[in-house]
Amino acid sequence: MKVVLLGPPGAGKGTQAQRLAWEVGVPYVATGDMLRRHVRKGTDLGTRARAYMDRGDLVPDDLIIAMVRRRLEEADCQGGFILDGFPRTPAQAEALAALAPPDVVLYLDVREDEIARRLSGRRTCRECGAVYHLEFDPPAEAGVCDRCGGALDQRVDDREEVVRERVRTYRRQTEPVVDRYRARSLLVEVDGSGTIPEVEARLREALREAGLLT
């Protein structure tokens, strides 16, 4: 099962992709998480990517495509994957088509006022990247990750002015990718409003209709 999850910042892609990948048993591949790990470790890629990420711009295609190619060539991705955050530009979509064409592209549709609510309350585990929301999906103990016990932080790029820039970047650079998949009948649009379990049920139904889930 090769699935791409697309949608604006804060639509719930990471939340849903992690759940689906765990249930289906394929790797969850998230370019944002991979980049944040590089930033934390201070690698050359992390150092180069950081300035783009902190201001809400996209990291250059050549860096991202090389990073994703290396990951998708690993043994555990040969049986499929759920991709979150890639492709985000037409050049990235071309690269994916050559590397591992997706079976389906799920598009999470969420209104902008809801995006702001979701991103302002998001907290992310510094250690394992697990995602929470102060109101909608809180951890059992405030500030502590349920999964690994790591400390929860607010992402630097979840500040209001950076969120506005990320949404502008999405409209300018990623909406053409959505249009491209729609034109090729690969896109399935899913209503991303409502609770996390409600959205998950809609995504599972979409995968069943695409013949990818029993």
Note whether 64 and 46 are within 8 A (CB): no
Report the residue number, 57 or 189, with the smaller CB distance to ligand AP5. 57
E strand residue ranges, 32-167: 81-84, 104-109, 122-125, 131-133, 152-153
Using the rule CB under 6 A, is 105 a contact of ligand AP5?
Answer: no
What the block records as the tokens of 77 is: 């991705």
DSSP string, 141-210: STTB-TTT-PBEE--GGGSHHHHHHHHHHIIIIIHHHHHHHHHTT-EEEEE--S-HHHHHHHHHHHHHHT
With CA atoms as reference, report the closest residue to 191 among 63, 39, 16. 16
User: Out of 29, 88, 106, 181, which residue is the one contacting ligand AP5 (CB under 6 A)?
Assistant: 88
Out of 13, 36, 118, 202, the active site residue is: 13
Q: Which stretch binds ligand AP5 (CB under 6 A): 19-27, 72-80, 146-154, 192-200?
A: 192-200
Report the residue number, 148 or 211, with the smaller CB distance to ligand AP5. 148
CA distance 48 to 30: 18
Using the rule CB under 6 A, is 2 a contact of ligand AP5?
Answer: no
The amino acid sitting at 1 is M
Report the residue number, 201 or 211, with the smaller CB distance to ligand AP5. 201
CA distance 195 to 177: 27
- Considering only residues 5 to 64 of the shown chain, the ones binding ligand AP5 according to CB under 6 A are 7, 9-15, 31-32, 35, 52-53, 56-59, 64
Report the residue number, 37 or 211, with the smaller CB distance to ligand AP5. 37
Q: Three-class SS of residue 132?
A: strand
Report the residue number, 161 or 214, with the smaller CB distance to ligand AP5. 161
Binding mask 106-125 for ligand AP5 (x = CB under 6 A): ------------xx-xx---
User: Minimum Å distance from CB 211 to ligand AP5?
Assistant: 25
User: Out of 86, 95, 104, 181, which residue is the one contacting ligand AP5 (CB under 6 A)?
Assistant: 86
The residue count of the chain comes to 214
CA distance 172 to 146: 36
147 as an active site residue: the answer is no
41 as an active site residue: the answer is no
Catalytic residues: 13, 88, 122, 155, 166
Q: Which residues bind ligand AP5 (CB under 6 A)?
A: 7, 9-15, 31-32, 35, 52-53, 56-59, 64, 85-86, 88, 92, 118-119, 121-122, 131-133, 136-137, 157, 166, 194-196, 199
